[in-house]
Structure 1
């Protein structure tokens, strides 16, 4: 009934705007201005929660948090990271934030009544080092009175994101839970110096255990991929080697080798049947052989191929030498 009344009121408001001659005059003369802040507030109160739910479903947030469960985030989370240049970086629904930008604990704001308790959880859905079906909890604050995060019980201190090199984008999800009473979660307190294993977390199991006392109400998430600060984090904070991954592509189909391949460059044809890593290693060694760390590199020639090659040189080798002189081809891979 309330939704029908709201829909009728919106239709009447739209009819009123369409019949406003002053607005039509401003629009025709390209002078009509829209207050984006008011438009966003209206969106958050009407279609915003359902749009956020659809975006979260697209990114697989609900599936990997709760399995088949989901919720509509009616409480808007205003989250941002403060940068060193005085600016702040907001968290929306899937925007990209680099690990270097999320090094410090973010600021979180939301609207709340005075007598309500909340729990805020930040968890990483991807990138657990030992168990694929587990998460790392990066931040957990319970029994937050109203919207005063500082007065809540910090069970897990904030930990910056550390997406592993070669694993693409990782999802970091903020979920705000509304409590019916003060809760003792019986979780081990985790500080910034605690082992990484203490942060192993499964949202689905944790929520099923406390679902009678908490209700998910707010949602925001961002994506992050590797940058140079992750290596420093592993070496200096976790005191361990940084794992590096590379995607294992399916090997391309290569037809059986022939004794006399016609019209195919000798070197390129033979390299098809060699290990690509070995080929790159040979090119790197060849390049380093002519490098001197105490001398500047020689200036490039104006006409690299002005000097002719011997007539007795095979055609495939001529083409190979010309490409090396011009800096073309595989030499750029190293």
Structure 2
């Protein structure tokens, strides 16, 4: 049946329920509105090409054992655990210790990297770096910032690291001899590229990132032996912009590559214009030789150490951003504001500076210069409040309980 016949049938008999599919959702029941509205809505639906909108996996595939082989290995492990008398005795005596490092290794090897991919999607890492592409990290990255003697600040799935903690280049380690597809030791030499960017540091061009670190041709996972194309630049989120993301992406190379076009001169270390970078363009130009294999990222926001960093390193005035909130709408003042607290209604139409001064004076009047503020009542609600209007009774009760606007001053 054609659309026009279906439409005529549904309008001719109002009792007929029409079933329509819109963007994969089935609408059952009477069509909303008149027939003309239904026809227009069905024709105006934006049809998305599934092949165009589908996300592309640009990472390595993973070869797994068959389900039967995995089940066999698991059953053998359970059988060995249950047959161990020593293990049972330790468990009964509450002396069984679990090696958490081994648990972490198993987690990273099994589902840890898939969880990292979901977290990166949640934080918009793939969307802002690769557009509609993504990848599952196959090579675990271990990144630690040195804080002091024996103190480390690890990069762990989007945790918060302050700029003062990330002033120096972190220690990076990964298994450079592993085959990302099979998970076994690779034969021959392997080469890698590590790129650290900030997709939120848009200073001159909105579509680019800030390049913080670029190390190419890392042999067999030895990061210190790689070719440093851009020295490490600490994160510097401006004051007032909130959190920014620092993303480390590890690429697997087929062989040594000539990436000298990305070389940053020593005198351009603090030149932010020269540090504009596009991960998507970089990958498109080198996707035949590079494949993303590892991922790590953290969040950072402003702290006091950045003031000197802007002045001494970047040679810039420190930017400070503030939110510009529009003024609240106030209707015309009424002679009798019914069902509204009298004092709060009047405060809306008073000068905010005068109001702040009044609250501050009230707070200082109850504070002794040497003994401090008055001691609060032990049981505030047990003291009756009589012979005062209802709005004042509510105000006194809030003051006793430490609630309301008075706590802002």
Match of 1:300 in 2: 372
- Deviation, structure 1 residue 328: 8.2
Counterpart Cα distance in 1 of 2:327 and 2:290: 49
> Counterpart of 1:95 in 2: which secondary structure?
coil
Match of 1:183 in 2: 257
Residues 225, 285 of structure 1: alpha-carbon distance in 2 compared, 3 angstrom cutoff? farther
- Deviation, structure 1 residue 49: 2.1
8 Å Cα contact 1:283/1:331 also seen in 2: no
Residues 127, 268 of structure 1: alpha-carbon distance in 2 compared, 3 angstrom cutoff? farther
| 2:151 counterpart of 1:87 | yes
Residues 107, 243 of structure 1: alpha-carbon distance in 2 compared, 3 angstrom cutoff? same
- Which aligned pairs between 1:321-332 and structure 2 lie closer than 5 A? none
Counterpart Cα distance in 2 of 1:260 and 1:194: 63
Q: Which runs of 5+ in 2 are unaligned?
A: 1-62, 178-187, 377-388
Deviates more, 1:80-89 or 1:134-143: 80-89
- Deviation, structure 1 residue 21: 5.3
| 2:10 counterpart of 1:10 | no
- Deviation, structure 1 residue 65: 1.3
| 2:302 counterpart of 1:226 | yes
Match of 2:114 in 1: 50
| 2:200 counterpart of 1:122 | no
Superposed CA deviations along residues 220-241 of structure 1, whole A, max 9, x for unmatched, are: 1111122111222223222222
Residues 225, 90 of structure 1: alpha-carbon distance in 2 compared, 3 angstrom cutoff? same
| 2:142 counterpart of 1:69 | no
Residues 206, 262 of structure 1: alpha-carbon distance in 2 compared, 3 angstrom cutoff? same
The CA RMSD over aligned residues, in Å, is 3.7
Match of 1:108 in 2: 172
- Which aligned pairs between 1:268-279 and structure 2 lie closer than 5 A? 268-273=344-349, 279=352
Counterpart Cα distance in 2 of 1:105 and 1:316: 60
- Deviation, structure 1 residue 9: 3.8
> Counterpart of 1:217 in 2: which secondary structure?
strand
Match of 2:97 in 1: 33
Counterpart Cα distance in 2 of 1:45 and 1:233: 39
- Deviation, structure 1 residue 157: 0.9
8 Å Cα contact 2:129/2:279 also seen in 1: yes
- Deviation, structure 1 residue 259: 3.0
8 Å Cα contact 1:127/1:164 also seen in 2: no
8 Å Cα contact 1:190/1:199 also seen in 2: no
Normalising by the residue count of structure 1, what TM-score does the alignment of the two structures yield?
A: 0.79
> Counterpart of 1:261 in 2: which secondary structure?
coil
| Higher CA-based Rg | 2
- Which aligned pairs between 1:121-160 and structure 2 lie closer than 5 A? 121-160=195-234
Match of 1:174 in 2: 248
Residues 38, 317 of structure 1: alpha-carbon distance in 2 compared, 3 angstrom cutoff? closer
Which of 248, 273, 277 is equivalent to 1:201?
Answer: 277
Match of 1:308 in 2: none
Superposed CA deviations along residues 165-200 of structure 1, whole A, max 9, x for unmatched, are: 222221111111111122222124154743112111
Match of 2:40 in 1: none
Residues 33, 317 of structure 1: alpha-carbon distance in 2 compared, 3 angstrom cutoff? closer
Q: Which runs of 5+ in 1 are unaligned?
A: 305-313
Residues 316, 80 of structure 1: alpha-carbon distance in 2 compared, 3 angstrom cutoff? same
> Counterpart of 2:274 in 1: which secondary structure?
helix
Match of 2:337 in 1: 261
Counterpart Cα distance in 1 of 2:223 and 2:354: 53
Counterpart Cα distance in 1 of 2:342 and 2:295: 59
Counterpart Cα distance in 2 of 1:37 and 1:55: 22
8 Å Cα contact 1:122/1:172 also seen in 2: yes
Superposed CA deviations along residues 107-153 of structure 1, whole A, max 9, x for unmatched, are: 11111136111111111121323444321111111111222222222
